[in-house]
């Protein structure tokens, strides 16, 4: 069965950056499962999986525009340490949900100098070219309920 709109796809992947460093991988885990055509995964990867089938192996390079976006300098901000009320030790690498004009945004603490904390609201993979090694494990048709919900149910999906 070929991957098309409303296919449920399970695939293994290894994600590396241009330096060849492994950023993420499904190795040793269950494959990643998603509903094709529902925007569950980044556009650049979804597009390349179209028409493929179970057992296919492919390499996909995704540009930032079709991945997690370009790095936006405006999303890097300095805030006073006082803004982290109730957090005992603010450290680089910590993630917080910030309330912004555009809604909730996950930010990562990138630097602390004195009482000034730098937070970055860019996705950690923003601005990067992403190289995926993909092996498609399974393709099946989505149920009408999955299509209605816009995500996969059962193994590797939503349990509800
Ligand atoms: Zn659901």
Topology given in CATH for the domain delimited by 73-120: Thrombin, subunit H (2.40.10)
Q: DSSP strand E in 48-90: where?
A: 57-62, 76-80
Per-residue confidence (pLDDT) for residue 100, from 0 to 100 = 80
Centre of ligand 1 from the C-alpha of residue 144, in Å = 10
Q: Which residues of the chain have pLDDT under 70?
A: none
The answer to whether the CB of 127 falls within 8 A of the CB of 60 is no
Distance 151 CA to ligand 1 centre (A): 6
| CATH number listed for the domain at residues 7-68+125-149 | 3.10.50.40
Domain boundaries, the chain: 7-68+125-149, 73-120
Q: Are 6 and 139 in contact (CB under 8 A)?
A: no
| Exposure string over 47-57, b if 16+ CB within 10 A, otherwise e | ebbeebebeee
Q: What is the pLDDT of residue 108?
A: 94
Output the CA 8–ligand 1 centroid distance in Å: 13
């Amino acid at each position: 069965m070929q991957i098309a709109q409303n296919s449920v796809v399970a695939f293994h992947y290894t994600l590396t950056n241009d330096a060849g460093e492994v950023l993420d991988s499904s190795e040793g885990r269950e494959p990643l499962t998603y509903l094709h055509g529902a925007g569950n995964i980044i556009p650049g990867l979804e597009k390349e999986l179209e028409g493929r089938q179970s057992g296919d192996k492919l390499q996909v390079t995704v540009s930032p525009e079709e991945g997690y976006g370009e790095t936006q300098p405006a999303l890097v901000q300095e805030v006073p340490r006082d803004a982290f009320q109730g957090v005992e030790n603010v450290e680089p690498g910590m993630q917080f949900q910030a309330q912004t004009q555009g809604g909730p945004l996950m930010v990562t603490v990138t630097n602390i100098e004195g009482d000034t904390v730098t937070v970055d609201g860019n996705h950690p993979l923003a601005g990067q070219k992403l190289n995926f090694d993909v092996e498609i494990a399974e393709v099946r048709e989505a149920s009408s309920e999955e299509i209605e919900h816009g995500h996969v149910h059962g193994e590797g999906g939503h349990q509800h």
